[in-house]
Amino acid sequence: MDRIRITGGNELHGIIPISGAKNAALPLMIASLLTDDTLTLENVPHLADVEQLLRILGNHGVDVSVNGRRERQGESYSRTIHFTCRTITDTTAPYELVSKMRASFWVIGPLLAREGRARVSLPGGCAIGTRPVDLFIEALTALGANIEIDSGYINATAPKGGLVGARYVFPKVSVGATHVMMMAATLANGQTVIGNAAREPEVVDLANCLIAMGAKISGHGTSTITIEGVSSLSGARHRVLPDRIETGTYAMAVAMTGGDVVLEGTDGALLETALEAVRRAGATITQTETGLRVVRNGGAIKPVDVVTDPFPGFPTDLQAQFMGLMTMSNGVSHITETIFENRFMHVQELARLGAKISLSGQTAKIEGVSKLKGAPVMATDLRASVSLVIAGLVAEGETMVSRVYHLDRGFERLEEKLNACGANVERVSD
């Protein structure tokens, strides 16, 4: 199994191209199930989760063709992929495929909307909480679906004549359930109004793509999304938006090591709250014509308190990385996690590097230390693993991160991108 060896101590200087967003690419790919025409997605990142979803979509009958020429966006290798699902060949998403990745469960929306039935295994994904699916069930039930849970599978059937538009207010904001209800409602009869909808940029990206496919959607980006059902959707060409979590991760890495890096092809508007926290920690961040420039020229890292929240709040997917940064602040900071109940698994691993962190319920208290020291650490989930990389970049000596497969789910060519800016990061295959 691969491991990542980081020799700490170098500042970061140069350009890091930001890839297409994993969490936008996945629902966009799933939207290809809604049409018998070709959906072309540009800027699809080359990640383990994307490859896994390609297998899952193939199982449902999606024909995939990847352009031989890799699209060159700066130094990125994100690809253009064509998805064509003439007919849905299988409405079952089996445990073996779905258990590896949370988002694969989302095929339930398009399968139900287009074929009137779906049998989908309960999902897997990062072990950061219990992650139930009750909101999906409620939302699809509101659209008229009949849902039964049997042997770890959800069996869903639409009424004769198809799903029926409805008004439904989510009791809690859910990105995935908003994606699914929006996709399902595009082909339902009549109007659907989603209340307390997720406002994440990835939801907006999916809505824009669905609109390009002929869906009638308004209000995306606000808490109320309205969808007028149509009888069919067509193909479209859509570019996946830049990855705001990758953007924030590298911004935090530069704030940690010091240096001057342009994060190319990204947009600060996608993560204002997180960037504000990095600025308060001591970095200067400016939007340039090509991307975001992040600079920290000496000076201390200052302690900053953050609380995770749905968009436009501080993203839970940047919580671990920000904690990595705070381990070296010159004071005491607090980080409160409000989205997932078990998203602090990086705490004990950061402690191996010398970080001083204590937990009280959903809040971590981080007492900044003046130096970290390299050690063997274990990646526990996707964002937790990259927080260890960030800490390793400044830790004295060698940090060896094991279980790198977590990182490969969400960070395209991490070592190359960091090394191009002066880091010393090496993948070691045993």
Ligand X SMILES: C=C(OP(=O)(O)O)C(=O)O
Q: How many CA atoms lie within 13 A of 393 on its CB side?
A: 30
| Angle at CA of residue 6, ends 5 and 8, nearest 5° | 155
Residue at shortest CB range from ligand X: 125
Q: Which of 140, 177, 254, 292 binds ligand UD1 (CB under 6 A)?
A: 177
Q: Residue 81: which H helix or E strand, with range?
A: strand 79-84
Picking from 60, 68, 29, the residue whose alpha carbon sits closest to that of residue 47 is 29
C-beta of 250 vs 340, nearer to ligand UD1 = 340
Taking the complex as a whole, the smallest distance from the CB of residue 26 to ligand X amounts, in Å, to 8
Rounded Cα distance between 37 and 33, Å, is: 9
Residues comprising the binding site?
Answer: 22-23, 102, 131-135, 172-175, 317, 339
Cα→Cα distances 293→14, 252, 302, Å: 10, 12, 19
Check binding of 317 to ligand UD1 (CB under 6 A): yes
Check binding of 247 to ligand UD1 (CB under 6 A): no
DSSP-derived secondary structure for 91-134: -EE-HHHHTT-GGGGGGHHHHHHHHSEEEEEPP---SSS----H
Q: Is 126 one of the annotated active-site residues of the chain? A: yes
C-beta of 132 vs 195, nearer to ligand UD1 = 132
Q: Which position has the token pair 């130094």?
A: 75
- Please check whether residue 365 is in contact with residue 334, taking contact to mean a CB–CB distance below 8 angstroms: yes
Rounded Cα distance between 22 and 279, Å, is: 25
C-beta of 10 vs 385, nearer to ligand UD1 = 385
The two tokens of residue 15 are 């350009």
Query: Which of ligand UD1, ligand X, none does residue 132 bind (CB under 5 to 8 Å by kind)?
Result: ligand UD1
Q: Which stretch binds ligand UD1 (CB under 6 A): 67-75, 173-181, 208-216, 254-262?
A: 173-181
CB count within 10 Å of CB 112 equals 29
- Sketch the per residue contact string, 15 through 54, with ligand UD1: x for CB under 6 A, - otherwise: --------x--x----------------------------
Give the list of residues 6+ apart from residue 132 with CB closer than 8 angstroms, or none.
none
Q: Which of 73, 174, 321, 327 binds ligand UD1 (CB under 6 A)?
A: 174
Check binding of 217 to ligand UD1 (CB under 6 A): no
Check binding of 380 to ligand UD1 (CB under 6 A): no
| Angle at CA of residue 197, ends 192 and 198, nearest 5° | 140
Picking from 130, 129, 133, 189, the residue whose alpha carbon sits closest to that of residue 159 is 189
**Quick one: DSSP state of residue 302?**
P
Query: Which of ligand X, ligand UD1, none does residue 410 bind (CB under 5 to 8 Å by kind)?
Result: ligand X
Taking the complex as a whole, the smallest distance from the CB of residue 354 to ligand UD1 amounts, in Å, to 28
35: helix, coil or strand?
Answer: coil
Q: Residue 275: which H helix or E strand, with range?
A: helix 272-280
C-beta of 139 vs 375, nearer to ligand UD1 = 139
- Sketch the per residue contact string, 100 through 139, with ligand UD1: x for CB under 6 A, - otherwise: --xx-------------------------x-xxxxxx---
C-beta of 24 vs 34, nearer to ligand UD1 = 24
Q: Which residues bind ligand X (CB under 6 A)?
A: 23, 101-103, 125-126, 128, 317, 382-383, 410
C-beta of 4 vs 101, nearer to ligand UD1 = 101
Check binding of 271 to ligand UD1 (CB under 6 A): no
Residues designated catalytic: 126
Q: Which stretches of the chain bind ligand UD1, using CB under 6 A?
A: 23, 26, 102-103, 129, 131-136, 172, 174-177, 316-317, 339-340
